[in-house]
Structure 1
Amino acid sequence: MRVAMPSPFPGMDPFLEGEMWQEFHSTFAGAIRSQLLPRLKPKYVALLAKRYTIEHPVLNVTRTFYPDVHIVKQTREAYIVPDTTWTTAIAPPFELENPPPEPEPMPYLAIEIRDVAERRLVTVIEILSPENKRGKGYLEYDAKRAAILATDTHLLEIDLLRHGQRIELVGELPRAAYYVFLSRATRRPKTQVYPIQLRDKLPTVPVPLLSPDPDVPLDLQAALDACFDLVGYERLLDYAQALAELSAEDAAWVGDTIHAANLQSEIENRKLQ
């Protein structure tokens, strides 16, 4: 039984939406999988599907690829400066800058639920990342999402990011900080929406399987708590920074919550050491 909650927040920790997000994303996917596996046996299995994203902000390019395509880095040979002692006048060149080096690919995980007998893809669980919610990355994810919705695969999307573009639905979303979207293959084009307020615990949501098998529950709060228990994000996050795009009331609540947990003073003291 879990005795203490290391995160100062009752639900999602909004400070995870920053430099720790990539690490948290992978850890959260693993926690979800660990929770589901015992509930899926023996008929189903939950597998981690890895993809890589390269985001080039200068060129405004986002690319996603999968690990069956290998990246090979070539070593540079020593460069010999050529002899430029010419007697003929050379016209001055027009110079442009080379693009910056391509950033390292960032790995992201999704959870795929398959039936053991036929290896059939039954449900995809996506944890949205910042790259899924802006620019060309959003368009690429939207195309992938449309491809899944055109099949008989269920799609569960977990959006624990306050910033960025939401997935496109017909109708207005209820106002909330976070959302979970469930598109059942048997109920399309309908999508079930679970709005989550900043001060709320994360909900337990259903994970659909093949008919007539019942849904299995996914306790998102328990998965989040498991991540904090494993890594201790409260020791790594900068609770002294100000969060953008908060109402005055929510900003005051965030400050009071951090102050009550004595985390802000701990972070500031650590910076002074």
Structure 2
Amino acid sequence: MDPYLEGYLWPDVHHRLATQISDQLMPLVRPRYVARIEIQVVADDTPEAEIGIMYPDVEIVRPRPPAATSQASPSEARAAGTAMMTPTSLSVPLLEVEVRLATVEIRDTAENQLVSSIEILSPVNKREPGLSKYRDKQRRLREAHVHILDIDLLRRGQRPLAHPRIPAHAYRVTLSRAGESVADVWAIPLQEPLPVVPVPLRAPDEDVPLDLSLALATIYDRAAYDLSLNYNEPPPPPPLSDEAQAWVRRQVDLHASS
């Protein structure tokens, strides 16, 4: 994973990755299954956390210039028995942000029933109130006996699954198989390649592999993200450790020399 992709390019990364995952899986699951992309539009009720990171900078607090009015002076207002209105000191815009979330759904071709749901997390899924809504969605999918593969390639935010045994690495993939009470977790350090993970189907059909490193490398090249990213600046928050920052700098220098 490239941590620089976690910033303003993330919406594009999210949708391209969903498309690439679908394209990669389609030859492996047909003809009994198909890989389809489902788009859900959700409201980001707390977009302030992403301003300057994923959302463009906006004017959060704007001082209000003094208005030129013919309003009476305080002494004149008191003499007239009226109250003078106190002018406001600033204006705050009301932010309304809609987020389009792409999910890759594996459905059987016989009855079009959902078998596996591949969720690519966005920031709205990793902070309240979106976090609770996403956990509710997971619960509904489990009750419907659907396999859930969560792909979390964002370092910021809260993980939907919290467990003390899971290492606090940069990225995570979680697989919850239908009908099972345990989840398989791939905790991925920044310096390691993304894993090849299983996508479950219906018994007796075997899992099919999903190569996340290949998917990310493919969209990186096709979208020419290197032309948009400034690797001379720090990556989006949270800040990297000194060790991780040194590793990123080596990768940038290696790419520049190739």
Bin of the TM-score, shorter chain as denominator length: 0.7 to 0.9
Alignment of structure 1 residues 63-142 onto 2, 5 Å: 100-142=93-135
The answer to whether residue 218 in structure 2 is matched with residue 229 in structure 1 is: no
Distance 1:119 1:92, change over 3 A: farther
Number of the residue aligned with 2:42: 53
Partner of 1:252 in structure 2? 246
Q: Which moved more, 1:142-151 or 1:109-118?
A: 142-151
Question: For 1:76-225, what aligned pairs fall within 5 Å after superposition?
Answer: 100-186=93-179, 188-225=180-217
Q: 1:27 aligns with which of 11, 16, 19?
A: 16
2:155 match: secondary structure:
coil
How many angstroms apart in 1 are the aligned matches of 2:211 and 2:116? 16
Check whether the contact 2:45–2:129 (CA below 8 A) recurs between aligned residues: no
Distance 1:93 1:217 in 2: 67
Deviations 1:48-89 (A, max 9, x none): 1101132243799xxxxxxxxxxxxxxxxxxxxxxxxxxx99
Q: Distance in 2 between matches of 1:94 and 1:172?
A: 56
- How far off its partner does 1:210 sit? 0.5
**What are the superposed Cα offsets for residues 22-43 of structure 1, whole Å, 9 maximum, x if unpaired?**
1110000000000011111101
Note the residue ranges of structure 1 that are not aligned, 5 or more in a row: 1-11, 61-87, 264-273
Matches of 1:170 and 1:161 in 2, distance apart? 18
Q: Does the C-alpha gap of structure 1 residues 59 and 23 become closer, same or farther in structure 2, counting only changes over 3 Å?
A: closer
In 2, distance between residues paired with 1:24 and 1:32?
12
Is 1:240 aligned to 2:229, yes or no?
no
Percentage identity across aligned positions? 39
Amino acid at match of 2:243: E
Secondary structure (helix, strand or coil) at the match of 1:250 reads: helix
The unaligned stretches of length 5 or more in structure 2 are 50-79
> Take 2:201 and 2:26, find their aligned partners in 1: how far apart are those partners?
13
Change (3 A) 1:53 1:241: farther
**In structure 2, what is the Cα distance between the partners aligned to 1:205 and 1:217?**
6
The 1:148–1:58 alpha-carbon spacing in structure 2 relative to 1, beyond 3 Å, is closer
Q: Once superposed, what is the RMSD of the aligned Cα atoms? A: 2.4
Question: What code does the residue aligned with 1:109 have?
Answer: A
Give secondary structure in 2 for the equivalent of 1:262.
Answer: helix
- C-alpha separation in 1, matches of 2:149 and 2:173: 7
Q: What secondary structure does 2:197 align onto? A: strand
Tell me, in whole angstroms, the C-alpha distance in 1 between the residues paired with 2:106 and 2:81: 69
- After TM superposition, the structure 1 stretch with the greater mean CA deviation from structure 2, 43-52 or 168-177, is 168-177
In the other structure, the counterpart of 2:60 is none
The answer on whether the counterparts of 2:47 and 2:95 sit within 8 Å (CA) in structure 1 is: no
1:77 matched residue in structure 2: none
Indicate yes or no: 2:256 matched with 1:262: yes
Residues in 2 aligned to 1:129 and 1:228: alpha-carbon distance in whole angstroms: 18
Write the letter of the residue equivalent to 1:194: W
- Deviation of 1:100 (Å): 3.1
C-alpha distance in structure 2 between counterparts of 1:56 and 1:169, whole Å = 23
Q: 1:53 to 1:99 in 2, by over 3 A?
A: farther
TM-score by length of 2: 0.79
State the shift of 1:260 in Å: 2.5
- Structure 1 122/103 Cα, relative in aligned 2: closer, same or farther at 3 Å? same
> Alignment partner of 1:105: what SS?
strand
1:226: how far off? 1.3
